[in-house]
Amino acid sequence: MSLRDLFEEHLSDVKESGDDHIRATCPCPRRKKRAFYAHSESGYWNCFSCGQHGSLRSFLEIVTNNASDLYDQVKHMLAPKEGAAKKTRSAPKRPPGILPDYILGAWDTCPLSLVNAGFHEDILRDHDVGFDKHRERITFPIRNRTGELVGVAGRTIHKDVEPRYLVYGDAKEFAHFDETYRPDTRRYLYGFQSIWPKRYYERDKDNFPPIILVEGYKGTLWLRQNGFPSTCGLMGSSLSPGQAADITTVRGPYYVFLDYEPGKQKLTWEPLSPERTIRTRFSKQYHDLSCAALRIARKLQRHGETRIVRYPPGCPERTSPDDLTKESLDWAIANAETPATFFTRERDALAEQGVTAPTSPAHLGAKPTPPSATPPTTTTQG
């Protein structure tokens, strides 16, 4: 019997967590968090759920009634072999910008606000969604495409608190692990680490479901819960160069599914800068008919089939994907449109409503007065 076998015998949900470490559910009956960490060679353990820690003997005193006898049987595994030098190991170096997974044990799991909103506890645990009692924020771990932890974002549970989303690390919470750590979460796609490996190493296959791009964390979890596991979050309403580089390493099709708002998933006349003003033969065009979903789709369509998800008829504005039922989601995904079809339908709908392009350049503001060729004369009072 090894120390690892001993821990597995008295703990549940045991998984590996780095070199010679294991992660498991807290042995306290009142705790359900997988925040118990132990070293399988030294026997030392620490639980971020109940706050207890100690040696192998103290662990056996908690989980068994015959701790002394059992410790006498296994204590020889803690000492170095006779005549051999004690094994010394240097801590593995962590790449810059990568955080240890055990920090996620500092927060509670399965936030009640999400459970009450209909999210299953299993999917919240699978994605390590937690709750920060100190800041009263729901925590979402952000990982790169290989699964390494690169950041933690917190979403407030109060409507009147700004900012609504906060990326931890701005206040140097993680300086203990990496003094140079600075979060740059817009380089990554939320949840992409569960899509990328299979898609990348089996990219010759053509039967993959579409990759659905939504704005936020809740939308990603909601679609995955309702049968769309290839969903990932932009953490915003635009596709950054880093995100585009990641997602285009795998084959599509790509489906864009932003919130149902003007400028996001609905076309609107957007003002152009003076440099981008479109000059036609007879006039100038100061506005362009576009939206965020269309801009993302145009970036991706050169790399594969791209569609824009269509919301069911009658949806009010400010609707998000996580506001839809499973039946509505199935209809929306099944009726996704190509960028050209989406643009034509939305443009015709605006024309029927009598919405036309503004012709005034007033939105550009007052143009600066060009400098005079001769310097202005100044007068002095004697």
Q: What is the pLDDT of residues 111-137, one digit of tens each?
A: 999 999 999 999 999 999 999 998 899
Q: How many CB atoms lie within 10 A of CB 288?
A: 14
Q: How far is residue 12's CA from residue 359's CA, in Å, rounded to a whole number?
A: 67
* Paired tokens of 296: 């993302």
* Paired tokens of 228: 């769309």
Domains of the chain: 3-77 (3.90.580.10), 101-185 (no CATH), 192-363 (3.40.1360.10)
* Paired tokens of 209: 């479901």
Instruction: Calculate mean pLDDT across residues 33-56.
Output: 77
Tell whether the model's pLDDT for residue 285 goes beyond 60. no
Tell whether the model's pLDDT for residue 237 goes beyond 50. yes
Q: What is the pLDDT at residue 367? A: 42
Tell whether the model's pLDDT for residue 361 goes beyond 60. no
Q: How far is residue 210's CA from residue 230's CA, in Å, rounded to a whole number?
A: 7
Lowest mean pLDDT among 43-57, 217-231, 304-318: 43-57
Instruction: Calculate mean pLDDT across residues 300-311.
Output: 92
pTM (2 decimals)?
Answer: 0.68
Q: What is the pLDDT at residue 18? A: 66
CB 310 within 8 A of CB 336: yes
Q: What is the pLDDT at residue 94? A: 61
> Which residue in the block uniquely carries the two structure tokens 């609905």?
266
Q: What is the pLDDT of residues 313-338, one digit of tens each?
A: 988 988 999 999 999 999 999 999 99
Lowest mean pLDDT among 27-31, 113-117, 204-208: 27-31
Instruction: Name 254's bridge partners.
Output: 211, 306
Q: What is the pLDDT at residue 373? A: 46
Instruction: Calculate mean pLDDT across residues 330-353.
Output: 91
Report the mean per-residue pLDDT for the chain: 80
Query: E strand or H helix at 154, and its extent?
Result: strand 149-156
Residues 6+ positions from 313 with CB-CB distance below 8 Å: none
Instruction: Calculate mean pLDDT across residues 137-147.
Output: 93
DSSP-derived secondary structure for 14-71 = -EE-STTEEEE--SSTT-----EEEETTT--EEETTT--EE-HHHHHHHH-S-HHHHH
Q: How far is residue 157's CA from residue 104's CA, in Å, rounded to a whole number?
A: 19
Q: What is the pLDDT of residues 243-270, one digit of tens each?
A: 999 999 988 899 999 999 888 888 887 7
Tell whether the model's pLDDT for residue 143 goes beyond 80. yes
- Computed on alpha carbons and rounded to an integer, the radius of gyration of the chain in Å comes to 28
Give SS3 for 142.
strand
Instruction: Calculate mean pLDDT across residues 208-222.
Output: 94
Q: How far is residue 256's CA from residue 159's CA, in Å, rounded to a whole number?
A: 27
Tell whether the model's pLDDT for residue 176 goes beyond 70. no
Q: How are the residues of the chain apportioned to helix, strand and coil, as percentages rounded to the nearest 5?
A: 30, 20, 50
The residue with greater pLDDT, 278 or 217, is 217
